[in-house]
Amino acid sequence: MARVDDKDMGSDLQSVLISKEEIDAKLAELAAKIDAEYAGKDLLIVGVLKGAVMVMADLARALSTPVTMDWMAVSSYGAGTQSSGVVRILKDLDTDIKGKHVLIVEDIIDSGLTLSWLLSNLGSREPASLEVCTLLRKPDAAKVAIEVKWIGFDIPNEFVVGYGLDFAEKYRNLPFVGTLAPHVYGG
């Protein structure tokens, strides 16, 4: 697929759900709240690869608080659009988080399985605090008991791509969040 923009979305995309401008404004808003929360504290932000790369990069630059950054790669999805429910660590943190203020940064909470597993895994490492910031959240996340302090947008239960989010590893570099045409994933 050729690179697309808001005017020429290409036949694979159905609609632009959240524009680049809306994402930028929301991240500025979230960053101000996070700055206030962690004033005077050392904060480690943990990005969940690969989807959270764009949110991490833009949120980190919107923050005034100095942060350190680490990355974790876990996978609960195969090539399709359904979570397998089995979470595997593909890359662990480089740093020991014991006694640190940790903020997990995610692109999306869908079934909530990835985050639920991450919270218990990282929580067992005795951080001083452990919170979550996600750009997107889908309705199914309510079925899992997880506490998410900062949420960008609550979105409907449709498969979305762009701004880090992929379908079969494609579309991550779109600057906006869009819905995928059902024919692309056989819906």
Q: List active site positions.
A: 110
Q: Which does 113 bind (CB under 5 to 8 A by kind): Mg ion, ligand HPA, ligand PRP, none?
A: ligand PRP
Long-range contacts of 73-77 (CB under 8 A, 24+ apart): 73/48, 73/49, 74/48, 74/114, 74/117, 74/118, 76/111, 76/113, 76/114, 76/117
Asked whether the beta carbons of 19 and 176 are under 8 A apart, the reply is yes
Nearer to ligand PRP, 50 or 125 (CB): 50
**Closest separation between CB of residue 162 and ligand HPA, Å?**
9
On the question of a cis peptide bond just before residue 50, with omega within 30 degrees of 0, the verdict is: yes
Stretch that binds ligand HPA, among 62-70, 116-124, 140-148, 156-164 (CB under 6 A): 156-164
116 by Cβ neighbours in 10 Å (0-12 / 13-18 / 19+) ranks as middle
Nearer to ligand PRP, 48 or 63 (CB): 48
Near ligand PRP by CB under 6 A, which window of 8-16, 102-110, 148-156, 173-181? 102-110
CB 175 within 8 Å of CB 7:
no
CA-wise closest residue to 102 among 72, 142, 140 = 72
Which among Mg ion, ligand PRP, ligand HPA, none contacts residue 112 (Cβ within 5 to 8 A by kind)? Answer: ligand PRP
Beta carbons of 108 and 137 less than 8 angstroms apart:
yes
Measured from the CB of residue 69, what is the shortest distance to ligand PRP in angstroms?
Answer: 16
Instruction: Based on the shown chain and the rule CB under 6 A, indicate whether residue 110 belongs to the binding site for ligand HPA.
Output: yes
Residue 76, binding choice from Mg ion, ligand HPA, ligand PRP, none, Cβ under 5 to 8 Å by partner class: ligand PRP
Contact positions vs ligand PRP (CB under 6 A)? 48-51, 75-77, 83, 106-115, 166
